[in-house]
């Protein structure tokens, strides 16, 4: 009879035998970020006020799960392990209670601030769009004159319903009135569809923001629009924000506020790649709502867009090592 103890090497520890926590693309989990050029942070929050579509608080978990499908090399643009080159770490999720807005915002701002102070670019995921405000507060106070490039079906610049009240459509109003961003050099791109009240574009323009609607984007063409934005954003810190409802529900069904006529996956990836060389100081991918997703489609696409954001950070931190999109066919 075999002795079961003889089949268990005494020198092997549980660390060798067991996997750690599920992290984005399997990168190391760490709360010490010294030496990291970028850090992934999950934000499991939504304000909880939507009448029937609550669930973005589960976004980070789903994105991490779907990120297991991502590979670490892109032979066309970055034929090296991008995450490893960046020293990318996943610091886990912010400790917060969804719908406890002010307390959660303070926690989010502190966590993002710690990442920026550590010398890393925060790559945040999950949550509804409201979380962009505390992330912007943390990054904007450390990068004065920061511009925002917000790719979304909505401007999220609505007048709040009351003093110091927040929802998933007011974050860029507060970012403007708190003077955290340079609105005259900030853009909302891909805006389309229906809204709850009139005058949305007027208020957004009054705040100083620029708007490129989806119809304008399609009429001018993505290459022309993105080349213009890249030229205007050159030389300034850029907060890159992607609300996943910028995509059409056919490729990203699990979002908080779906709107038909959106970007295809190919078009969204194209837009990110045309930002090569800009000083991206934060990558904010939000509004994945797993209860409304289909086979993890929106979460998987969000993970892919985060990887595209990583390549933009790597292109800036390591000039010449990530190939420009326009030159890929050369």
Instruction: Specify if 198 maps to a domain.
Output: yes
Q: Is residue 2 part of a domain?
A: no
For 295-322, the pLDDT digits (tens) are 999 999 999 999 999 999 999 999 999 9
- The CATH number linked to 198 is 3.40.800.10
Residue scoring higher pLDDT (328 or 181) = 181
For 100, counting Cβ atoms within 10 Å of its Cβ (0-12 exposed, 13-18 middle, 19+ buried), the class is: middle
Helix (H, G, I), strand (E, B) or coil at 263: strand
pLDDT over 70 (residue 3): no
Angle at 229 between CA 226 and CA 233, to 5 degrees: 135
Q: What value does the mean pLDDT of the chain take? A: 93
Q: Which two tokens stand for residue 242?
A: 């992607």
Instruction: Note whether residue 5 is domain-resident.
Output: no
pLDDT of residue 163: 87
The string of pLDDT tens digits covering residues 191-209 is 999 888 888 799 999 999 9
pLDDT at position 7 is: 54
Q: Are 169 and 156 in contact (CB under 8 A)?
A: yes
Q: Give the model's confidence band at 330: pLDDT under 50 very low, under 70 low, under 90 confident, else very high.
A: very low
Share of the chain above pLDDT 90, in %: 81
Closest CA to 33 of 97, 104, 122: 122
Q: How far apart are CA 279 and CA 286, in angstroms?
A: 20
**What average pLDDT does range 232-245 have in this prediction?**
97
Mean pLDDT of 170-188: 97
Q: Which of 223, 228, 136 is nearest to 183 (CA)?
A: 136
Distance, first Cα to last Cα, the chain: 67
Q: How many domains is the chain partitioned into structurally?
A: 1
What pTM value is reported for the model? 0.93
Tell me the percentage of the chain whose pLDDT exceeds 70.
Answer: 95
Write the pLDDT tens digit of every residue in 44-68. 999 877 767 789 999 999 999 999 9
Assigned domain for 20 exists: no
* 80 found inside a domain: yes
Domain of 313 in residue numbering reads as 38-157+166-323
In a domain, 14, yes or no: no
DSSP 238: E
């Amino acid at each position: 009879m075999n002795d079961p103890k003889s089949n268990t090497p005494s020198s092997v520890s549980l660390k060798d035998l067991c996997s750690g926590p599920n992290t984005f693309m399997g990168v190391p989990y760490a709360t010490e970020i010294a030496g990291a050029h970028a850090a992934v942070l999950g934000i499991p929050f939504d304000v909880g006020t939507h009448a029937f579509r609550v669930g973005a608080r589960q976004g980070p978990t789903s994105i991490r799960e779907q990120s297991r499908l991502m590979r670490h090399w892109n032979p066309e643009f970055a034929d090296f392990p991008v995450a490893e080159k960046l020293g990318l770490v996943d610091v886990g999720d912010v400790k917060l209670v969804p719908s406890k807005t002010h307390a959660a915002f303070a926690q989010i701002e502190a966590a993002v601030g710690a990442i920026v102070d550590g010398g890393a670019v925060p790559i945040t995921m999950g949550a509804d769009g409201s979380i962009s405000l505390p992330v912007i507060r943390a990054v904007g106070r450390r990068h004065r004159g920061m511009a925002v490039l917000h790719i979304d079906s909505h401007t999220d610049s609505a007048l709040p319903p009351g003093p110091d009240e927040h929802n998933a459509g007011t974050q860029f109003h507060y970012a403007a009135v708190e003077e955290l961003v340079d609105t005259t050099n900030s853009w909302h791109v891909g805006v389309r569809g229906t809204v709850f009240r009139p005058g949305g574009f007027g208020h957004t323009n009054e705040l100083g923001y620029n708007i490129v609607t989806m119809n304008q984007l399609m009429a001018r063409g993505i290459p022309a629009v993105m080349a213009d934005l890249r030229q205007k954003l050159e030389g300034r810190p850029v907060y890159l924000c992607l609300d996943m409802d910028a995509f059409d529900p056919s490729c990203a069904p699990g979002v908080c506020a779906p709107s038909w006529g959106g970007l295809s996956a190919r078009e969204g990836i194209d837009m990110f790649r045309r930002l090569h060389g800009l000083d991206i100081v934060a990558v904010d991918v939000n509004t994945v709502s797993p209860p409304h997703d289909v086979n993890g489609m929106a979460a998987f696409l969000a993970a892919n867009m985060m990887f595209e954001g990583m390549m933009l950070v790597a292109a800036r931190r390591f000039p010449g090592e990530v190939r420009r999109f326009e030159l890929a066919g050369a």
